[in-house]
Structure 1
Amino acid sequence: MNVKWEHLAAGVSGGVLSTLVLHPLDLIKIRFQVDEGWSTLQRPQYRGILHAITSIARQEGLSGLYKGVTPNVWGAGSSWGLYFLFYNSFKSHLMEKNQVQTLSAPSHMLIASEAGSLTLLLTNPIWVAKTRLCLQYDALARPTMGENKHTKFIQYRGLFDCVKKIYKHEGVKGLYRGLIPGLFGVSHGALQFMAYEELKKFYNKQKNAPPDAKFTSVEYLTFAALSKIFAASTTYPYQVVRARLQDQHREYAGVMDVIRQTYKLEGLRGFFKGLSPYLLHVTPNICIVFLVYEKVTSRK
């Protein structure tokens, strides 16, 4: 297998940069996702994105907007780095094996799914820690109505303290909360990469350019944005389910319990909570990641 370590470096660079810039929107998205609306658990209430930003800044300080940024940077950097490394290694291997210059859309989806599944298995504990830290409110009333009334909410001092305490109190199972919907979410990455590759291939074909032709920064940004919006619009509900499973303030029996309760009490709308800050976050995020990645790997 042809392993190119520059893909790892490029993915890490793009993931870290985009996360540092856009983390506050990611934090707001998670807080919207877990807000059931009906619960008497006194979570902070927000009327919209701007109200959330101003409320968090006023109540928790500017640092409140960056709760969970450390695991987010570690998670985004390692995930994008590993994803690009695995994806391009699998892609190179398949192209050499089949002796072709380009792959079909199903082939892109297959290798993207393989790369995404392997990456998630290695990084899931970091994402659990990120969710817990993003949902570490300064003050929270005692839980009621289906929540575990005897739960004492744990305070975490940072990424490693969070991982250590989750393992201590919940074991390995706690570090892999949300893995099942996360694996379903691999389809998100698969659809995104398939769309990204197909857009590049289609564009080159229209210009009668070779399959490996390079593009301008604007073209890369356009392909990245379109592919992300396509993938996000079709797979978003799994993220709500995953966030709710990873939240320490609420107890669910499993994936189906989250789906059942969310649909019963909130309807289909409940599965799309946080979509607006998510799109505002991921669209420029993915543009930064892919642009940095393409520019780094195109250097000779």
Structure 2
Amino acid sequence: MSDALINGVSGAGGGIIAQLITYPLQTVNTRQQTERDPSKSVDRDGTLKQMCRVVKHEGWGRLYGGLTPSLVGTATSQGVYYYFYQIFRDRAEDAALAQLRNGIGDGSVGMLQSLVVAALAGSLNVLLTNPIWVIVTRMQTHKKTKKTPDCKVQSSVPNDVIQNVVVEPPPYGTIDVMQELYGEAGFLGFWKGVVPTLIMVCNPSIQFMLYEAMLKKIKRKRASNTKGAEGLTASEIFLLGAVAKLGATVVTYPLNVVKSRLQAKQGLHMDKRHQYEGTYDAITKMIKYEGLSGFYKGMGTKIVQSVLAAAVLFMVKEELVRMARLMLTRKLSLSKGVRSKQSR
């Protein structure tokens, strides 16, 4: 098994576990980001109160709306990202060693090269997985509301009974969202928000640049030449991942809000001020009608969710990589032992 494949599979596993742990926070945050009414302060009540409100009025299931496509998206996204990241990283390391042989540099990958590597892997990931995240955003922002029966049906029913009768809305699943998206904008509807998402590639790029820089400093202090995060404890990797993600989230959060606004459903009954034709239109209308504060709605929730998710992902991913390499090493040593015995 190649090192890139090990990192890809491990990244997918780590992403799934992190997603399961932090998904309710992600749902609440997406709703906060897509709240278009400037008179409503989504941060005033706090994340826990908003979660309780969703549970009270819509049930526990709404906190996990879109979980299935989200898990598929996470596994695919993290797998694709880490697979290509490792391929590009290996090539960058080979280039750095080649320069060292020519008397240039110290043989290590610098921060700029790390940024480029992460950006290339992130761009491929966005183009391949954006349709999944559009579906997830739609399902997270879909609010479950009860409706009264049709007046024609209830004409013979006493008024006091009518007032107590409610009809559950039809289910809103993955197929429903796909049909809705295709009906709105055709095949290109699945790539709504792709422009700010591509720009947001700088988020994981900044994250990995910070992570690799901090990892490099720690290994240098310990005079370690091990590969990757080998030699570090799980708690150290957890903290490195958290700090790296915190820095990246603060810088790129406004783009995240714009992306969510574009991907969320825009009803025909909605005020024209809150309907967006594209990235530029969304940014200008948000500045005009909501001010700069509109770009930071739900930021507190996002910091908690993304930092916790990234820290768990890094920790689990590195542990899985370590286990996979250990198993491969043992397998190779066993096979060599069998061959040496057969040759005697």
TM-score when scaled to structure 2? 0.77
| Matches for 1:53-72 after TM superposition, within 5 Å | 53-72=51-70
Find the counterpart in structure 2 of residue 136 from structure 1.
142
- Name the CA distance, whole Å, in 1 between partners of 2:24 and 2:109: 37
1:281-292 mapped onto 2 (5 Å cutoff): 281-292=305-316
Decide which of 203, 209, 222 is 1:188's aligned counterpart: 203
Q: Does 1:89 pair with 2:87?
A: yes
Q: Decide whether the 8 Å contact of 1:13 with 1:77 is kept in 2.
A: yes
- Amino acid across the alignment from 2:290: E
Rounded Cα–Cα distance in structure 2 between residues aligned with 1:198 and 1:238: 24
1:106 partner letter: L
Q: Deviations over 1:10-68 (max 9, x none)?
A: 0110111111111110001011101122489xxx9973212211110011111111112
Task: Decide whether the 8 Å contact of 1:136 with 1:155 is kept in 2.
Answer: no
Give the letter aligned to residue 123 of structure 1: T
Shift of 1:211: 5.1
Compared CA separation, residues 98 and 155, structure 1 to 2 (3 A): farther
Contact 1:125 1:163 in 2 (8 A): no
| CA–CA separation in structure 1 for the residues paired with 2:205 and 2:254 | 16
Whole-Å separation in 1 of the counterparts to 2:294 and 2:43: 15
The within-5 A match list for 1:178-217 is: 178-210=193-225, 212=227, 213-217=230-234
Q: What amino acid is aligned across from residue 14 of structure 2 in structure 1?
A: G
What corresponds to 2:11 in structure 1?
Answer: 11
1:294 equivalenced with 2:294 (yes/no): no
Aligned twin of 1:125: 131
2:263 is aligned to: 246
Q: Which residue of 2 aligns with 1:263?
A: 287
Letter in 2 for 1:73: L
CA RMSD across the alignment: 2.3
Distance change (3 Å), C-alpha of 1:39 and 1:136: farther
For 1:180 and 1:188, the matched residues in 2 are separated by 14
Which letter does structure 1 place at the counterpart of 2:27?
A: L
Equivalent residue of 2:145, what SS? coil
Equivalent pair of 1:33/1:273 in contact (CA under 8 Å)? yes
Instruction: Report percent identity of matched pairs.
Output: 29
Deviation at 1:274, TM superposition (A): 1.1
The equivalent of 2:336 in structure 1 is none
C-alpha distance in structure 1 between counterparts of 2:94 and 2:189, whole Å: 40
In 2, the alpha carbon distance for the partners of 1:70 and 1:248 equals: 19
Contact 2:211 2:240 in 1 (8 A): yes
Contact kept? 1:30, 1:243, Cα under 8 Å: yes
CA contact (8 A) 1:156 1:162 kept: no
Give the 3 Å change call, closer, same or farther, for CA 265–241 of structure 1 in structure 2. same
CA distance in 1, matches of 2:292, 2:180: 34
Q: Which residue of 2 aligns with 1:162?
A: 177
Inter-partner Cα distance in structure 1 for 2:175 and 2:308: 29
SS at match of 2:48: helix
Gaps of 5+ in 2: 99-106, 148-168, 267-273, 327-344
Q: Partner letter of residue 23 of structure 2?
A: H
In the other structure, the counterpart of 2:192 is 177
| Structure 1 residue runs without a partner (length 5+) | 142-153
Kept in 1, the 8 Å contact 2:96–2:108? The answer is no
The count of aligned residue pairs is 284
Per-residue Cα deviation, 1:264-292 (whole angstroms, up to 9, x for no partner): 22211110111111111111101111111
Which residue is 1:148 aligned to?
Answer: none
TM-score when normalising by structure 1: 0.88
Q: How far 1:158 moved relative to its partner?
A: 2.0
Q: CA deviation at 1:167?
A: 2.1
| Deviation for aligned residue 1:69 | 1.2
1:230 to 247, 252, 259: 247
Corresponding residue for residue 146 of structure 1? none
Deviation at 1:140, TM superposition (A): 9.6
Tell me, yes or no, if the aligned pair for 1:129 and 1:159 is still in contact at 8 Å: yes
Cα offset, 1:125, TM superposition:
0.4
- 1:106 paired with 2:123, answer no
1:3 deviates by 6.0
* Conserved 8 A contact 2:43-2:298: no
Q: Is the 8 A contact 1:201 1:211 kept in 2?
A: no
Distance 2:183 2:139 in 1: 17
Partner AA of 2:19 in structure 1 = T
Q: Is the 8 A contact 1:27 1:134 kept in 2?
A: yes
Q: Which has the larger radius of gyration?
A: 2
Partner of 2:301: 277
1:240, distance to aligned residue in structure 2 (A): 0.4
Mapped partners of 1:290, 1:254: distance in 2: 34
SS of the residue corresponding to residue 215 of structure 1 reads coil
